[in-house]
Amino acid sequence: MTKIELAKIADKQIEKNQEKIFNFAGSIIREPEEGFREEKTAAKVKTIFDELNIEYRAGLAVTGVKGVLAGGKKGPTVAILAELDALINRDHPLADKDSGAVHACGHFAQLAQLIGAATGLKDIMKELAGRVVFFAVPSEEFINLEFRQQLKDEGKIKYFGGKQELIYQGEFDDIDLIVMQHAQSDYPGRKASISAGSNGFIGKRVRFLGRAAHAGVAPFKGINALNAFNIALAAIHAQRETFKDEDAVRVHPIVTKGGDSVNVVPGEVKVELYVRARSVEAIKEINSKVDRALKAGAMAVGARVEITNTPGYLPIENNEKLTRIWTDNAVELLGRENVLSVGAFGGSTDMGDLTQIKPGIHPFVGSFSGDLHSKDFEVVDREMAYIISAKILVRTVIDLLYGQADKAREIISDFQPALSKEEYLNLLDSLTYQTLWQYRE
Ligand SMILES: [Zn+2]
Ligand SMILES: [Zn+2]
């Protein structure tokens, strides 16, 4: 059978199940759950896998579900990813009354595409070489860090991002190529886009520790932690002229505690900040400059500074050949004028981490309105969001695994990972640290 014939069979299956896919997505939207708590959402994915007779393992990185379909011949493994989690925005009309969770990042559409693609590929897998993994992954939104710390303390996870944890647990070891599509609402209508990359980041929590004293009677007995931060902030700003334009650096601190009482010299000041940039190298370089600036503030007034780092996500590196295959299929279904190449986006995702170690892509599909994460975000065209988008995924898999899976093999053999898995995990660990710094004569 030709690739076109296979795609037509898959299309028919997807179209026949359109109502079921719509209902599935609707049900996910109605019961949003935050990261590492997506029990009901995962159960819905499992039910569909059972109906489709897709073998799966569940409870991966707490809630992940990994289904697999084998082809008629041996070959590489392509994974289609969909994120299970919602975020918190209590202003959204569909937010859960108790938890505040809401699907304002469109992850429900990814899940609908995942089961749509599984429905379409099921009957044609025998014609393909290799395997397809349908992977519903937990916890993409980097939120509720206290809860994640608790899971970490209980030994249930080591890393705060779902894909980070799955990489660590070896759940991507048997996967060669990765495709996931994310919702976008920047371009209205039936549009798809692929960006030049994204920012990665490190999250930092900082405490300046001075000495409290009466601000009127004996300020000379105090060590002013707020002054330490002021100097640190000026020192951070003094680094900005060294940031390269192409690194798209963002350093954005907030003060979460500036002192206790206006008549007491601040003895403790708490700060949170992100260091974002376009490459791992740049993130590390800027991070060390920021650390230096924080220490300079402490040094100037004789305070101490405690720095706690949590690795955020790494920048996306969309694989070029995979991008081309996906783009051709998007063009076939949507028309050339509706498939856009856009600049890097300022946000971050743990799909970035995966693209540092495996060939992968993270394109965007439209048919949503309202900004991502905002109270207005909603799906406006379900056929595009779930059905047509699933067909793009199916065609991409067919292209990769057709014949002897030559296209997939070519991409795998050409691929030069930015990091090996071991290097990646070492990097995360090297970015996870707590230091208490104090100047000594
Ligand atoms: Zn999001
Ligand atoms: Zn998202």
Listing DSSP states for 35-95 in one string gives: TT--HHHHHHHHHHHHHTT-EEEEEETTTEEEEEEE-SEEEEEEEEEEE--BEE-TTSTTS
Q: Which residue has the tokens 């395997």?
A: 131
Task: Give me ligand 2 centre to Cα 86, in Å.
Answer: 8
Task: Give me ligand 2 centre to Cα 182, in Å.
Answer: 6
Confidence of residue 251 (pLDDT cuts 50, 70, 90): very high
Let me know if residue 420 belongs to a domain. Answer: no
Confidence of residue 347 (pLDDT cuts 50, 70, 90): confident
Residue-wise burial string across 378-411, b where 16 or more C-beta atoms lie within 10 A, e elsewhere: bbebbebbbbbbbbbbbbbbbbbbbeebebbbeb
Nearest ligand, CA 347: 1
Residue 59 predicted with pLDDT over 90: yes
Report d(CA 122, CA 91) in Å as an integer. Answer: 40
For residues 299 and 267, membership in a common domain is answered with yes
Summarised one tens digit per residue, pLDDT across range 145-203 is 789 989 999 999 999 999 999 999 999 999 999 999 999 999 999 999 999 889 999 98
Report d(CA 317, CA 298) in Å as an integer. Answer: 37
Alpha helices in 122-262 (DSSP H): 145-153, 162-168, 225-237
- Torsions phi, psi of 433, nearest 5? -155, 160
Summarised one tens digit per residue, pLDDT across range 89-111 is 999 999 999 999 999 999 999 99
Task: Give me ligand 1 centre to Cα 324, in Å.
Answer: 25
CB contact at 8 A, 143 and 49: no
Domain of residue 65: give its range: 3-197+316-404
Report d(CA 151, CA 294) in Å as an integer. Answer: 30
The residues that bridge with 305 in the sheet, in sequence order, are: 208, 437
Confidence of residue 143 (pLDDT cuts 50, 70, 90): confident
Task: Give me ligand 2 centre to Cα 320, in Å.
Answer: 22
pTM: 0.91
Which residues are CB-contacts of 429 (< 8 A; sequence separation ≥ 6)?
Answer: none
Q: In this structure, what CATH number is given to the domain that contains residue 264? A: 3.30.70.360
For residues 139 and 184, membership in a common domain is answered with yes
Report d(CA 338, CA 381) in Å as an integer. Answer: 15
> Taking residues 279-299, what's their average pLDDT?
96
Q: In this structure, what CATH number is given to the domain that contains residue 143? A: 3.40.630.10
Task: Give me ligand 1 centre to Cα 142, in Å.
Answer: 8
For residues 28 and 62, membership in a common domain is answered with yes
For residues 48 and 118, membership in a common domain is answered with yes
pLDDT value for 277: 95
For residues 227 and 91, membership in a common domain is answered with no
For residues 325 and 307, membership in a common domain is answered with no
Task: Give me ligand 1 centre to Cα 372, in Å.
Answer: 7
pLDDT value for 440: 86
Distance of CA 26 to the CA centre of its chain: 23
Task: Give me ligand 1 centre to Cα 183, in Å.
Answer: 9
For residues 324 and 309, membership in a common domain is answered with no
CB contact at 8 A, 320 and 441: no
Let me know if residue 410 belongs to a domain. Answer: no
For residues 30 and 176, membership in a common domain is answered with yes
**Structural domain total, the chain:** 2
Helix, strand, coil shares of the chain as percentages rounded to 5?
40, 25, 35
> 3-class SS at 230?
helix
